[in-house]
A = this chain, B = another copy of it.
Amino acid sequence: MGVLYIDIVDDIKNKILSGELGPGDLLQPETELASSYGVSRTTLRKSFSLLVNQGYIYTIPGKGNYVCKPTRKHYEMQFDEVENINCKIDDISLLDVKIVETNRKLMEKLMTGPSDKIVRIRKVFNCNKKPIEYIVMYLPYERGNPIVEDAIKFANFHDIMDRNQLHFQVEKEIDIKIIKPDLEVKEVLQLKDEYIFLVSQGIYSTEKNSVISYNEFYIRGEYLTLHAEAKI
């Protein structure tokens, strides 16, 4: 009917859906399936590549193709420390830039040693003169590191990465929690008893296998809604 490799994808999806193929089942060999669908092995493999990509099957070289166990827990989420905020950030004030002593947490997060110096940058994001978000960035100290300069100047890491042409070589990890803010955070964000979001973000260079930055974003709860979607 339509495109051959799509038809095959649909057929196999349906077999998994209807229960004809269950999790862990071994599919017929590619050559066999190809001839039974009346297509070349290349075409069948194109279908399989899609099915693997979409999480329906997985392949063990030399053995065969197997049906995946379904997992529906994976969501895709956007997070940007400026653009995700529910209001328009109209002012960013740089609190300070300091070389600070390291500690246990920073050594772990930045994968540095006890004698390594750390640059700490603190900023507050305001909306209508009201502080909404307080961010603390930690970077390993290196003389003349351009990232530090940019971290001071730019609002979000998105732009910092662009500037430094680290286009595609980084990994990021975030943990999102509700916390009861400590005194420092309470003061900066002028909080009373509100609980707030704490988003901890680690940024890793995959190429040099080093940590670029560890950041903490303290965000007033009422200004952040995280949205995530899952297909499949």
A172 in contact (CB, < 8 A): yes
Q: Are A168 and B70 in contact (CB under 8 A)?
A: yes
Neighbour of A178 across the interface among B17, B56, B157, B197, CB < 8 A: B197
A155 CB, nearest partner CB in chain B, Å: 14
Contacts of A227 in B (CB 8 A): 173-176
A110 CB, nearest partner CB in chain B, Å: 18
Q: Are B77 and A74 in contact (CB under 8 A)?
A: yes
Q: Are B73 and A165 in contact (CB under 8 A)?
A: no
A227 CB, nearest partner CB in chain B, Å: 5
Return the CB mask of A194-232 against B: 1 if under 8 Å, else 0. 111100000000000000000000000110111111111
A134 CB, nearest partner CB in chain B, Å: 16
A193 in contact (CB, < 8 A): yes
Which residues between 131 and 177 of chain A lie within 8 Å of chain B, taking CB atoms? 157-158, 161-162, 165, 167-177
A70 CB, nearest partner CB in chain B, Å: 5
- What is the oligomeric copy number? 2
Contacts of A13 in B (CB 8 A): 168
Residue of B nearest to A223 (CB): B178
Q: Are A178 and B221 in contact (CB under 8 A)?
A: yes
A18 in contact (CB, < 8 A): yes
Interface size on A, residues (CB 8 A): 55
Q: Are A225 and B176 in contact (CB under 8 A)?
A: yes
Residue of B nearest to A156 (CB): B73
- With the chains together, A174 CA to B73 CA distance in Å? 11
Residue of B nearest to A170 (CB): B72
25 A-B pairs with C-beta separation under 8 A: A13-B168, A49-B49, A70-B162, A70-B168, A72-B157, A72-B158, A73-B80, A73-B158, A75-B78, A76-B77, A171-B229, A171-B230, A172-B230, A173-B229, A174-B227, A175-B225, A175-B226, A176-B176, A176-B227, A176-B228, A177-B221, A178-B222, A178-B224, A179-B221, A226-B226
The interface of chain A, by Cβ under 8 A from chain B, is 13, 16-19, 42, 49, 53, 56, 70-80, 83, 157-158, 161-162, 165, 167-179, 193-197, 221-222, 224-232
Question: 6 nearest interchain CB pairs?
Answer: A178-B221, A195-B195, A176-B226, A172-B230, A73-B78, A75-B77
